[in-house]
Amino acid sequence: MPAAPNRRSFLGAAAATAVAGPLVCRQFAFGRPSAADKINVAVIGLGNQGFLDTKTFLANPACRVVGVCDVNRGSGGYRDESQFCGREPGKKLVDDFYGESGDGCFMESDWRKVVGRDGVDAVVIVVPDHHHERLAIAALEAGQDVYCEKPLSWSVAEGRRMADAAARTGRVAQTGSHHRSDANAVRLVDFVRAGGVGDIKRITTFIAPNNKVGPGPGWQPQPVPEGFDYAAWLGPAPKTPYHPDRCFYRFRFITDYSGGQITNFGAHSNDLAGWCMPEARPAAVTALAATWPAPGSLFSTAEVSKYRLDFTNGVPVTCQTDERSFGLRVEGTKGWVEHTSRKHSASSPALERELTDFVPAIGASVAHPSLTDPKGSSRLNNHVADFLRCVKTRETPVAPLSQGHYTAKLCHLGSLTLGLKDGYGETFAWDDAAERFTDGPNAELLDEANRRLDPRGA
């Protein structure tokens, strides 16, 4: 297990993400707390991203992490063998940070003991995608605010139900699309929306190739490790034999649990593309190319992907596997600009200088006070700070579940049509208001595409 961070290092990282002022939390529904009161947070899912999120919430003095929950007691084998995660390591991380002995934060293996629990104002959901819907809706309906990791949903219909639940309950709910809280991403989006590239002609979004290789045909079931509740991990997914490469970080490469790199990286790249065109909506999708694991392999999501979304404003957005791994290129009548996790670039030195010197009008694209010091915090710190600020003020965060659903939909439309046999090169018409395919190459493929919008049902 990596050494636990100390309080001094956490507080240093938190300096730019402090949220001051009185807090309005669930247990304070009928009263006004003092400035000393904190938002009580519980984290459900203590894996690779769960540890990152937990550290970020610990670093923010506006909240206190009061509980952790995971179906795994603790083991290695997450993103790499040395990464030791689970509920016991998660509890140790929290208790070491606060310098507590004894019980410290509570620890559970069943998420139902966290949702609705007294003294928990907000839950952080960092479990595999196929669990998101039921956990988030249960927490929202129990009166808790929710931070749910991206991609928001496992299917289009699940995302719709989650967004509807957030609207119905009026809770504060943030999707973990943290590139919306990246100063450079905000600069590019505002630059494009201010006409920096002229009229948009096309957008290309980048997603990473698979970074893990799973067992091929003939893989054999393995014994379930001690301390791991595999049945609970499967949850609503089909019952199937255990293999370590099915779970933990690698779940995202199996269609029963996730959509591969399309929904993983596309939840960021496609999010920025849609943000550049807030008035447009997808009107059609065309599956262009994909390569797949050999039949009978454990992994089942596409290894290399390419599909095109045609929007109502006439702009095509092509999402494709690329060595740049993440980002987008926006091409317009004045040239193109590109944003990746490493840098900005443009079609000419003059246009690149314009982009670099551009000062985002915070509020034009997004009301995001956490970006007032763009060099002071990481995008994840900014994103968590925005959520906690909105828990206090009851404002809408930068990535509400309605936006998370829309972005995930841009990914699901590609992954599900790529998965249709004989669907390559064929265009499916899409009604975004009804969230249904209205036309396709033939009635059989059209029916199958619509079935895949909600393959497990409500």
In a domain, 267, yes or no: yes
User: What letter represents residue 169's amino acid?
Assistant: T
Interatomic CA distance for residues 202 and 332, integer angstroms: 7
In a domain, 456, yes or no: no
pTM: 0.90
- Domain co-membership, 80 together with 97: yes
Q: Which domain holds residue 322?
A: 182-365+405-451
Query: For residue 437, which phi and psi values (nearest 5 degrees)?
Result: -80, 135
Q: Predicted confidence band at 378 (pLDDT cuts at 50, 70, 90)?
A: confident
Residue from 382, 99, 419 nearest 259 by CA: 419
Kindly state the helix (H) or strand (E) to which residue 173 belongs, with its residue range: strand 173-175
- Domain co-membership, 116 together with 127: yes
The mean per-residue pLDDT over the stretch 319-336 comes to: 96
What pLDDT, on a 0 to 100 scale, did the predictor assign at position 2? 36
Query: For residue 107, which phi and psi values (nearest 5 degrees)?
Result: -135, 130
pLDDT in tens, 261-318: 999 999 999 999 999 999 999 999 999 999 999 999 999 999 999 999 999 999 999 9
Q: Provide the domain count of the chain.
A: 2
Cβ distance 109 to 232 under 8 Å? Answer: yes
- Helix, strand, or coil here: 264? helix
pLDDT in tens, 398-451: 999 999 999 999 999 999 999 997 668 889 999 999 999 999 999 999 999 999
- Domain co-membership, 388 together with 357: no
- Domain co-membership, 214 together with 163: no
Q: Is the pLDDT of residue 176 over 80?
A: yes
Q: Is the pLDDT of residue 81 over 90?
A: no
Interatomic CA distance for residues 326 and 141, integer angstroms: 35
CATH number at residue 81: 3.40.50.720
In a domain, 458, yes or no: no
- Domain co-membership, 187 together with 228: yes
pLDDT in tens, 90-124: 999 999 999 976 678 999 999 999 999 999 999 99
In a domain, 256, yes or no: yes
- Domain co-membership, 39 together with 112: yes
- Domain co-membership, 302 together with 388: no
Interatomic CA distance for residues 215 and 171, integer angstroms: 42
Tell me the sheet residues that pair with 285: 309, 428
Kindly state the helix (H) or strand (E) to which residue 204 belongs, with its residue range: strand 200-207
The CA-atom distances, in angstroms, between 8 and each of 4, 56, 360 are: 12, 14, 33
Cβ distance 206 to 50 under 8 Å? Answer: no
Residues of the chain with pLDDT > 70, as a percent, come to 87
- Domain co-membership, 169 together with 254: no
The mean per-residue pLDDT over the stretch 4-32 comes to: 37
- Domain co-membership, 232 together with 100: no
- Domain co-membership, 379 together with 445: no
- Helices (DSSP H) in 284-400: which residue ranges? 349-357, 379-393
- Domain co-membership, 295 together with 383: no
What pLDDT, on a 0 to 100 scale, did the predictor assign at position 298? 97
- Cβ atoms within 10 A of the Cβ of 15, count? 13
Q: Is the pLDDT of residue 151 over 50?
A: yes
- Cβ atoms within 10 A of the Cβ of 35, count? 9
- Domain co-membership, 329 together with 418: yes
CATH number at residue 412: 3.30.360.10
The CA-atom distances, in angstroms, between 221 and each of 230, 240, 243, 253, 265 are: 13, 9, 5, 17, 29
